[in-house]
Structure 1
Amino acid sequence: MVLEISQLSQYYGSHQVLDIPSWEIEYGIYWIQGENGAGKSTLFRTLSGMLPYSGKVMLNGNYDLKKQSVEYLLRLNIGEAEPVYPSFLTPHDLLSFVAEAKNSPAGQVGILTEALGIHYLKQPFGSCSSGMVKKVSLALAFLGNPSVIILDEPLITIDKDARAALFEVVKTYYANGVTFLLSSHQTFEQEGLSISGAYALRNKTLSAISVI
């Protein structure tokens, strides 16, 4: 299995947000659906090591998020729904830092910024639009050599051309063995992206649903 969850529980204070007894996926592209406030972003942040949790999360059958966190996080990336970065940083600063941390192959940053139309590398985030910031967040999600990429609401704030460019990158990485978890209130089929399966986050847990 590429990703396995067992007895995952997540709380905000005394309020339980996630209660997932077990869930596992193989290689593929998966659509995670859910109403606003259902906990999708909380799930994604938990899987990406951003939030403490109880339970077990395993990647590729070898990497436990708690026990082998560095190896795990080198192989799982996330593009957040509404990214916020320090206003004084530039896309160049952030991309360079994350590329080094993720052991990115030479030239990868240039390929991604060109593909996604990020031509404002020296412009501080404080003077960037939400769409410009979002494209940088998406580029960050592809850095390194991930086996799983999470894209939380990847279509918000980006235009039609950027969406088309994004899905070309997704298809390329998927063809090279990368598994994707995507959330969106919009369908992906119209972008020519074939979904392997879909899950709904309801009542704090994940359940398989039809993609039709």
Structure 2
Amino acid sequence: MALSLESICKKYGSHTVISFQKFQLTDGVYWLKGANGTGKTTLFRIIAGQTPFDGQVSFRNVNLKKQPVSYRSTISYAEAEPQYPGYITGNDLVRYHQQVRRAKLDDVEKLIERFGMSPFMNQAIGGYSSGMLKKLSLICAFIGEIELFLLDEPLITIDKESATELFSLIKEYRVKGCMFLISSHQDIDPDMLSLDGVFMIQNGDIHKC
């Protein structure tokens, strides 16, 4: 199994948000569907290593708690509602990701062009629309040699052209051997993106649809 979660439990105070014994996936593209508030974002933050939890998570035999640096270096998480300091520019943010992930400048520029963000990269992020912020977060997510992509509600606020570009990128990276988990309460057109599985969180547990 490429991704393995075992004995997972996440609580906020006395409220249990996520609780299940085992969830394992082979490489592929998967859709986690469901309405807001069901725990999709919490699950993604657990997998991304961004929130404490009980249990074990490993990706391609690298354990999050035992090998946190190696684990996190293979994963990219694009949040549903990205928030960045308003005074920095789009270029400031992508250059940071480029340097941390040791990516090629040409590859980064191509991503920026594909999402139509080139004219806005020198502007302060505080002046960006919600759609521009979403596209910027997706650009950052695809920078570097990432193996597992966690895309939380990637289709909200972006235009149809950008959504088509996103699906094209997912297909290209899937051919390279990358894995994707996509959360969305919107339907994903199977003609636009072929899925290897669809799941839903109900009462804190994950069920196959």
Q: TM-score range by the shorter chain?
A: over 0.9
Which whole-Å CA distance do the structure 2 matches of 1:160 and 1:8 have between them?
A: 36
Within a 5 Å distance, the mapping from 1:105-116 to structure 2 comes to: 105-116=104-115
Percent identical: 38
Structure 2: distance between partners of 1:2 and 1:190 = 23
Deviates more, 1:197-206 or 1:187-196: 187-196
Distance 2:99 2:8 in 1: 31
Secondary structure at 1:189's aligned position in 2?
Answer: coil
The yes-or-no answer on 1:131 pairing with 2:135 is no
- The residue that corresponds to 1:208 in the other structure is 208
Instruction: Give, in whole Å, the separation in 2 of the partners of 1:153 and 1:67.
Output: 29
How many residue pairs match? The answer is 208
TM superposition score normalised by structure 1:
0.94
Please say if 1:100 is aligned against 2:96.
no
**Equivalents in 2 of 1:191, 1:98: separation in Å?**
32
Partner of 2:13: 13
Structure 2 SS opposite 1:107: helix
> Post-superposition shift, 1:49?
1.2
Deviation at 1:191, TM superposition (A): 5.3
Partner of 1:48: 48
Using the alignment, how far apart are the partners of 2:11 and 2:102 within structure 1? 33
For 1:12, give the aligned amino acid.
Y
Residue 169 in structure 1 maps to residue 162 in structure 2: no
Unmatched tracts of structure 1, length 5 or more: none
Measured in 2, the distance between the counterparts of 1:176 and 1:22 equals 27
**TM-score normalised by the chain length of structure 2:** 0.96
Instruction: For residue 190 of structure 1, report the CA deviation from its aligned partner.
Output: 5.1
CA RMSD of aligned residues (A): 1.2
In 1: Cα distance, 2:191 partner to 2:149 partner: 18
